[in-house]
Amino acid sequence: MEIKVLGVGCVKCNSLEQRTNEAAKQLSLENVVEKVSDINEITDLGILSVPALVINGKIKSVGKVPSVEQIVEWIKEEM
């Protein structure tokens, strides 16, 4: 399981990271959330707006902060 939170440290980016960690914790997944703040890596993934969430190489969210429940559903879809 590969989960990446893409962001440069803004309030929304930090909120997405917290919610993603909470979702992973609810599913008993530990240490799977990677924070990516390198702008070159973010743009290499085709992301032009942050925050963004990528699960197993699939872009799930761009430019917004989804709920913990939504993130849980996306993680389950990729398990």
Catalytic site residue 10? yes
- Please tell me which residue in 3, 13, 33, 36 is annotated as part of the active site: 13
Catalytic site residue 13? yes
- Please tell me which residue in 1, 8, 10, 39 is annotated as part of the active site: 10
Complete DSSP assignment for 25-75: HHTT--S-EEEE--HHHHHHTT--SSSEEEETTEEEEESS---HHHHHHHH
Q: Which residues are catalytic?
A: 10, 13
